Homo-oligomer: A and B are copies of this chain.
Amino acid sequence: MSDIQIKSDVTAKLVNVWANDVMVAKAARVSTLGKESAADDLPTEALINFLMRDRHGSPFEHTHFTFLVEAPIFVAREHMRHRAGWSYNEESGRYKELEGLFYVPSSDRALLQVGKPGAYSFKNGSDAHFARMASNLLGAYGEALSAYKDMLKAGIAREVARMALPVGLFTSYYATCNARSLMHFLSLRTISEESRFPSFPQREIEMVADQMEASFRESMPNTHAAFVAHGRVAP
């Protein structure tokens, strides 16, 4: 069996950003003040709070975040279901030989699913559960990588050989969004007591979302605070 590499975390690194709270306020003020950029009587923070509360979303779109995400394929699959205001470029199994790097949950990941579809919760498994998961994943990953490499060695096309590879394999992609599309993503892919609507993200995409939220909070503190204050609903 081939030697595999494993990793238990995912990363969403901010690589480019053009975003700040002042631009949100400027875009909103064009409605009431026209081309004049002079401030109106409502300061930036209060204006953003009003926009969030009454769900005026468009002023948040004149911003730009680009992340480089490294995560397993099943996370990329969920991420790329977000269409509006998102752009993606991903590593291709047709164009390059994929590395044998696989995801295995860490021992503190809740492994047992409780409840019904649409409202699952999760609880921790025993050490035996963890061991059984790890050995099954490692076994399947190793078999898959061996099969993949053997096909490549025989000259079979990468796009065919990759069919053997599991959705636990790591991939890399650039993901670009604006503050509005990011808030929509966060509303669905994070879990928080402040949320007005329930969300049930898989832990691994939540790890991506949490890192994106930290970048968002840093670039746009007023917008982030208003997002939280108004129930984490995207405007």
Residues of A at the B interface (CB closer than 8 Å) are: 16-18, 23, 26-28, 30-35, 50, 54-56, 58-59, 61-64, 66, 68, 70, 72-74, 76-77, 80-81, 83-84, 86-96, 98-99, 103, 105, 109-113, 117-118, 120, 122, 125, 128-129, 132-133, 136-137, 139-141, 143-144, 146-148, 150-151, 154-168, 172-174, 176, 178, 188, 197-198, 202
Contact = CB atoms under 8 A, between A and B. Distances in A.
A74 B171 CA distance: 13
A164 B136 contact: yes
Given A125-B156, A147-B139, A167 B165 contact: yes
Which 5 pairs between the two chains have the least Cβ-Cβ distance? A163-B168, A61-B87, A113-B157, A64-B64, A18-B18
B166 A89 contact: no
Contact of A151 (B16, B132, B154): B132
A74 B93 contact: yes
Given A62-B176, A163-B103, A96 B136 contact: no
27 contacts: A30-B174, A34-B172, A35-B70, A58-B87, A58-B89, A59-B89, A73-B77, A76-B77, A80-B80, A80-B81, A83-B86, A94-B120, A111-B160, A112-B156, A113-B157, A113-B158, A125-B155, A125-B156, A132-B151, A136-B147, A136-B150, A137-B147, A139-B147, A140-B143, A140-B148, A140-B164, A165-B167
B162 A74 contact: yes
